[in-house]
Structure 1
Amino acid sequence: MGKRLQTRAAVACMKTLLMTFNVIFCLCGLIVLATGAVVKLELSKYLQVSAEFSATAPYVLMATGGLMFLLAILACCCTAKGQPVLLYIYAAFLLVIFVILVGEGVSTWAFRKSLKNDFLEGLSTAFTDYERSSTMARAVDNLQSRLSCCGIQNASDWVSMPYGFNNDPPYPPSCCKESQEGMCIALHAQGCYRTVISLVEAGVGAFLIMALTFTCFMVIGVLLACCLARNINRAKYEQV
């Protein structure tokens, strides 16, 4: 009888811990979903001048976050019912999400390394084609206006661009920091390349820390689900 009570107490404790994990896991899913949305809405605006920029990463994040949220809701039902088979399936899904997050972290790290050269090439092409392509012109103006930057490294880059040869002043209005009586009297001092790269590296660092934290969290969830399933099976065996 004492052993049976100990097993029941262990099951109750495991259920409480796993339910707590499920709630936190649900919140984590919302965080990943929101991160993907922010990357899609904000970061893509600054990187659209680069032909090498992949737009799939934000969608992977949003899909992963949505899956985590739905799985956490279903896991609460599985935990409450105490079905060992469902708990093992839940643990398997956690392992799948673990693999997805690890893969996303590795691809993000690789993307960080190749981004600098790719973005520099894309930025040079965009500035060169500023007058030839309205799409590039809008992308460059949006970049310079939003981030308060001018040129690739600095404003003097516009002098050597086709736009600079054909216009006076040799830089577009989006470079202007301060104007007086319709005349630009001050330009944005910071170049767009370093500004964007600083933003991307800060975002990548935050994402890698988040991914590492979540992957460790996944391992805890797998252990809790498996321990609960094992204790439920043991309780059923002791009743027999």
Structure 2
Amino acid sequence: MAVEGGMKCVKILLYLFLLAFCACAVGLIAVGIAAQYVLSQTISQGATPGSILLVVIIAVGAFLFLVAIVGCCGACKENHCLMITFVIFLSLIMLVEVAAAIAGYVFRDKVVSEFNDDFRQQMKNYSKQNHTAFILDKMQENFKCCGAANYTDWENILLEPRGRVPDSCCINVTHNCGVNFKVKEIYTEGCVEKIGVWLRRNVLVVAAAALGIAFVEVLGIVFACCLVKSIQSGYEVM
């Protein structure tokens, strides 16, 4: 039985929200993958609160896309069971997103702490000239920083010749510019604080986005419930 009257408007609005959900789902997956890539370039340890949170965001994005498809099929066919399933799953996703947003806020300093420990560990492996050295060089160049707390951290690293800093610390990077350097020619600020600010800001952006999507989902749940009620009323009339 087709819905009538004002419920047709509700149905159209639900379609629009479902399209928005699909876009949000793709956005969550893209943001999660991008953030995971960036985090893997800064924190090389195994499972951490930051990396686990990003995996949850990616999984929620994928699940939200599937749930949006279910909702679209349910609204199109005016199927009571599909719409109930849509409402239940969307409610669960909303709760997970709120929990993920709260976790992101709570663990934002933990992520920075992990980065500090990992950065210092990678500094110890810098002299091996492996992938770690490449990552550190890119971070120091991109964030215009040197060392963990400041450039003097490199004094404890066995670089040859002694007393040098990586060339990536130089304001104007040239070959061996870190040998016999002058302080005014290098970046003196540490990377942990500069990158830490960037990490905190982006974690909060992701958390805010998750809360924003959750708010939109609440409206979607309301419209879906209205449609379910209309479909159920139609069955009772029949």
Structure 2-normalised TM-score?
0.85
Amino acid at match of 1:188: Y
Change in Cα spacing, 1:29 to 1:197, as seen in structure 2 (3 Å) is same
SS in 2 for 1:177: coil
Structure 2 stretches lacking a partner, 5+ long: none
SS in 1 for 2:154: helix
Aligned: 1:34 with 2:33: no
Aligned equivalent of 1:170: 164
Any conservation in 1 of the 2:170–2:177 contact (CA below 8 Å)?
Answer: no
CA drift of 1:228 comes to 0.5
Aligned equivalent of 1:219: 218
Residue among 81, 98, 101 paired with 2:97: 101
Any conservation in 1 of the 2:150–2:191 contact (CA below 8 Å)?
Answer: yes
Any conservation in 2 of the 1:163–1:171 contact (CA below 8 Å)?
Answer: no
CA drift of 1:208 comes to 1.5
1:154-165 mapped onto 2 (5 Å cutoff): 154-159=150-155, 161-163=156-158
Aligned equivalent of 1:45: 41
Aligned: 1:123 with 2:119: yes
Identity of aligned residues (%): 25
Change in Cα spacing, 1:50 to 1:173, as seen in structure 2 (3 Å) is farther
Amino acid at match of 1:147: F
Aligned equivalent of 2:18: 22
CA drift of 1:49 comes to 6.8
Amino acid at match of 2:194: T
SS in 2 for 1:74: helix
Aligned equivalent of 1:229: 228
1:65-214 mapped onto 2 (5 Å cutoff): 65-131=61-127, 134=130, 136-159=132-155, 161-163=156-158, 166-179=160-173, 183-184=177-178, 186-214=185-213
Residue among 12, 15, 22 paired with 2:8: 12
Change in Cα spacing, 1:60 to 1:182, as seen in structure 2 (3 Å) is same
Amino acid at match of 1:70: L
Greater strand content = 1
Comparing 129-138 and 100-109, the one that deviates more = 129-138
Cα deviations by residue, 1:117-153 (Å, 9 ceiling, x for unpaired): 3332222232234336845434422322333321112
CA distance in 2: counterparts of 1:104 and 1:40, whole angstroms:
15
Any conservation in 2 of the 1:149–1:192 contact (CA below 8 Å)?
Answer: yes
CA drift of 1:95 comes to 1.1
SS in 1 for 2:189: coil
CA drift of 1:50 comes to 9.0
CA drift of 1:14 comes to 1.7
Any conservation in 1 of the 2:167–2:177 contact (CA below 8 Å)?
Answer: no
Any conservation in 1 of the 2:25–2:62 contact (CA below 8 Å)?
Answer: yes
CA drift of 1:203 comes to 0.5
